[in-house]
């Protein structure tokens, strides 16, 4: 919200400065016409001021563009902080998952990765995906339930497996 207010102020200043600069350029243009600008000191002064006024118009245009950007396109600090916080939480969860995987054997890692990839996977699908026997998958899932890593819900003749909510 602050960026929008700042953008409005900058844009207002830019408009006022543009009006002043254009008025000044009009005065210089009338002086140039009145002097008919032969190579005299007075004409050189007017031409020098005219060049400076063009630079001023460029700066005013930049300030105006900055005001438009702040007013319409700039994201607020809150949005940036929120996005950074979300990214940090995702990284923390990924690191947590990687640490848990390091403490497991190869078969347990296969099962847990498959569950993470497809939450709600059935035990029969898990058996095929990990290339483990039905009893091995069941044993690993029982151990995971005891450690509160997964939960199983009855789904037809088999179970659907989900990662635990605190995981």
| Residue range(s) defining the domain that contains residue 137 | 105-167
33, 97: one domain: no
Average pLDDT, integer, range 60-73: 84
Average pLDDT, integer, range 34-40: 68
Kind and range of the H or E run holding 152: strand 150-155
Sign of the CA dihedral with 143 first, then 146, 150, and 152 last: positive
161, 130: one domain: yes
Domain total of the chain: 3
69, 85: one domain: no
What is the predicted pLDDT for the residue at 74?
67
User: In this model, does residue 139 exceed pLDDT 90?
Assistant: yes
153, 164: one domain: yes
23, 55: one domain: yes
84, 142: one domain: no
60, 10: one domain: yes
User: In this model, does residue 75 exceed pLDDT 80?
Assistant: no
Residue 30: alpha-carbon gap to chain centroid:
51
User: In this model, does residue 69 exceed pLDDT 90?
Assistant: no
Q: Which residue has the tokens 């035990």?
A: 123
97, 129: one domain: no
- Is residue 126 packed enough to be buried (19+ CB in 10 Å), middle (13-18) or exposed (0-12)? buried
Rounded-to-integer distance, Cα 125 and Cα 131, Å:
10
6, 69: one domain: yes
Rounded-to-integer distance, Cα 89 and Cα 77, Å:
18
Rounded-to-integer distance, Cα 123 and Cα 138, Å:
8
What is the predicted pLDDT for the residue at 40?
67
Average pLDDT, integer, range 9-13: 84
Average pLDDT, integer, range 35-64: 78
What's the mean pLDDT when you consider all of the chain?
Answer: 84
What is the predicted pLDDT for the residue at 146?
92
Average pLDDT, integer, range 114-134: 90
95, 134: one domain: no
Which tens digit of pLDDT belongs to each residue from 82-118?
Answer: 889 999 998 998 888 888 889 899 999 999 999 999 9
Kind and range of the H or E run holding 90: helix 77-102
40, 86: one domain: no
For residue 129, give the CATH number of its domain. 1.10.10.10
150, 110: one domain: yes
Starting at the edge strand that comes first in sequence, how are the strands of the sheet with 121-122 ordered? Answer: 121-122, 158-163, 150-155
- Residue 155, phi then psi, degrees to nearest 5: -140, 95
């Amino acid at each position: 919200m602050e960026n929008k207010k700042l953008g409005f102020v900058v844009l207002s200043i830019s408009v006022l400065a543009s009006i002043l600069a254009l008025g000044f350029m009009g005065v210089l243009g009338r002086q140039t016409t009145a002097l008919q600008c032969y190579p005299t000191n007075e004409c050189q002064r007017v031409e020098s001021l005219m060049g400076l006024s063009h630079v001023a118009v460029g700066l005013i245009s930049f300030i105006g563009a900055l005001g438009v950007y702040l007013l319409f396109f700039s994201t607020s600090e809150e949005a940036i902080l929120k996005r950074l916080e979300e990214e940090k939480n995702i990284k923390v969860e990924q690191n947590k998952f990687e640490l848990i995987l390091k403490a497991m054997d190869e078969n347990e890692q296969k099962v847990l990765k498959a569950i993470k990839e497809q939450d709600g996977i059935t035990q029969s699908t898990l058996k095929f995906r990990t290339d483990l026997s039905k009893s091995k998958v069941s044993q690993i899932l029982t151990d995971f339930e005891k450690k509160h890593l997964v939960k199983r819900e009855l789904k037809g003749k088999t179970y659907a497996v989900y990662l635990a909510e605190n995981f």
